[in-house]
């Protein structure tokens, strides 16, 4: 009897205590995550081809490529020194005629102005020293031109200088001969040229140096004084293996890519070399010809790392 009576409390206790147990979270992930802890994170996952296709995963063979080191630099168009001429009066005297206006194209030797010399009291003609376009007219008819008064400024704008402001480290590795793509900001017109020289001095206030290129002004719309955008290709290097940046992911501070073998996608820690806006050089970790995930590589990373994903609030 005693035993029987004591069974009830035991049963009830067991029962109620059992009921008080924690809810086992419904997450199926629990078991998984305890096996696959981050210390020994699994390095690969299996994704069926159909699922991979539906999720947009794409692979490409690792192959040689070219890495171009490019920089976007601001610059300004200026007339080429030596192709700008200032026309001045040789002898003082009243200006009798001015034959060219601002914007007129003049040929070398073309008469530009007539001045009556105060010394000889005879008019003499001033001719254009170079062919070009009149940029500025500094006098008017009837006024007296003093000795050395600039009458015209003529510039040959068939070629312009592009002065690019190069800062710090760039000044060290940008060299004459580097290809430059210059873009006009207002209409986006593009011209290609090469750097001619890096000027020797540095402006102390901005710590910048000028890299200069010459630009052919064929359409006449490149105007001195205009700010332009230039893309300088500092370097073009063919490399043994180049992968699109979309293939790269970072895991625990390591750069990795994902290589497909059959349906198995495995993590490869890679050593990166140079990189540009589109591609990166792979120094080690992947061999040429291996199938590397280039689109939706994040999805592969997510799948491998999913066991560590949890609800955090």
Q: Which of residues 289-308 bind another protein (CB under 8 A)?
A: 298-303, 305-308
Near another protein by CB under 8 A: residue from 10, 61, 63, 119: 10
Give me the half-sphere count of Cα atoms (radius 13 Å) on the Cβ side of residue 89: 29
Stretch 100-159 residues interacting with another protein (CB under 8 A): none
What is the Cβ-side half-sphere exposure of residue 104, based on CA atoms within 13 angstroms?
15
Does 262 sit near another protein (CB under 8 A)? no
In angstroms, the CA 181 to CA 183 distance is 7
- Does position 82 bind another protein by CB under 8 A? no
First to last CA, the chain: 53
CA 104, 107, 108, 113 dihedral sign is: negative
Q: How far is the CB of 133 from another protein (least distance, A)?
A: 17
Question: Segment contacting another protein (CB under 8 A): 68-76, 145-153, 172-180, 214-222?
Answer: 68-76
Main-chain phi, psi angles of 164, to 5 degrees = -105, 135
Nearer CB in complex with another protein: 8/121: 8
For the window 161-200, what string marks contact with another protein as x by the rule CB under 8 A?
A: x-x-x-xx----------------x-------------x-
* Cβ closest to another protein, residue 178 vs residue 209: 209
Q: How far apart are CB 131 and another protein at their closest, in Å?
A: 21
Phi (first) and psi of residue 53, to 5 degrees: -65, -40
Least gap, CB of 124 to another protein (angstroms): 31
Q: Does 285 bind another protein (CB under 8 A)?
A: no
Asked if residue 254 binds another protein (CB under 8 A), the reply is no
For another protein, which residue of 49, 53, 55, 197 counts as binding (CB under 8 A)?
Answer: 55
Out of 40, 47, 62, 99, point to the residue binding another protein (CB under 8 A).
Answer: 47
Residue 190 CB, shortest distance to another protein, in Å, is: 14
Instruction: Give the interface segment with another protein, choosing from 9-17, 96-104, 111-119, 280-288 (CB under 8 A).
Output: 9-17
Q: Which is nearer to another protein, 76 or 130 (CB)?
A: 76
Per the CB < 8 A criterion, the answer to whether 178 and 196 are in contact is no
121, 204, 219, 262: which one binds another protein (CB under 8 A): 204
What residue spans of 20-48 are helical by DSSP H?
29-35
Which of these ranges, 95-103, 122-130, 225-233, 266-274, lies near another protein under the rule CB under 8 A?
225-233
CB 208, min distance to another protein, A: 5
> What's the half-sphere exposure (Cβ side, CA atoms, 13 Å) at 2?
0
**What own/partner pairs with CB < 8 Å and gap ≥ 24 does 190-197 have?**
191/215, 191/216, 191/222, 193/162, 195/164, 195/232
Cα–Cα distance for residue pair 219/159, rounded to 1 Å? 11
- Near another protein in 15-44, by CB under 8 A: 15-34, 37, 39
Contact residue for another protein among 108, 203, 284, 288 (CB under 8 A): 203
- Separation of alpha carbons 161 and 81, rounded Å: 8
- Long-range Cβ contacts of 103-106 (<8 Å, 24+ apart): 103/133, 103/134, 104/133, 104/134, 105/131, 105/132, 105/133, 105/134, 106/131, 106/132, 106/133, 106/134, 106/154
């Amino acid at each position: 009897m005693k035993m029987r009576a004591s069974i009830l409390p035991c049963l009830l206790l067991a029962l109620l205590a059992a009921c008080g147990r924690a809810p086992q979270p419904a997450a199926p992930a629990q078991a998984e995550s305890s096996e696959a802890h981050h210390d020994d994170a699994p390095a690969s996952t299996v994704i069926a081809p159909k699922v991979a296709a539906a999720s947009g995963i794409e692979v490409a063979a690792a192959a040689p490529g070219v890495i171009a080191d490019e920089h976007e630099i601001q610059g300004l168009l200026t007339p080429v020194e030596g192709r700008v001429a200032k026309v001045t009066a040789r002898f003082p005297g009243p200006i009798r005629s001015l034959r060219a206006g601002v914007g007129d194209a003049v040929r070398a030797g073309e008469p530009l102005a007539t001045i009556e010399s105060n010394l000889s009291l005879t008019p003499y003609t001033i001719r254009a020293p170079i062919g070009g376009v009149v940029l500025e007219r500094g006098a008017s008819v009837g006024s007296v031109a003093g000795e050395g008064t600039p009458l015209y400024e003529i510039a040959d704008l068939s070629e312009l200088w592009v002065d690019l402001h190069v800062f710090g480290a760039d000044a060290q590795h940008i060299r004459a001969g580097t290809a430059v793509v210059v873009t006009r900001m207002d209409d986006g017109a593009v011209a290609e040229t090469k750097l001619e020289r890096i000027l020797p001095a540095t402006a102390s206030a901005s710590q910048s140096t000028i890299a200069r290129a010459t630009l052919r002004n064929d359409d006449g719309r490149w105007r001195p004084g205009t700010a332009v955008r230039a893309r300088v290709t500092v370097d073009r290097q063919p490399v043994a293996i180049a992968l699109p940046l979309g293939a790269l992911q970072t895991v625990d501070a390591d750069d990795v890519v994902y290589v497909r073998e059959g349906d198995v996608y495995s993590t490869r820690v890679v050593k990166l070399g140079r990189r540009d806006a589109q591609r990166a050089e792979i120094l080690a970790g992947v061999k040429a010809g291996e199938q590397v995930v280039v689109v939706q590589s994040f999805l592969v990373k997510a799948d491998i790392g999913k066991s560590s994903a949890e609800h955090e609030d």
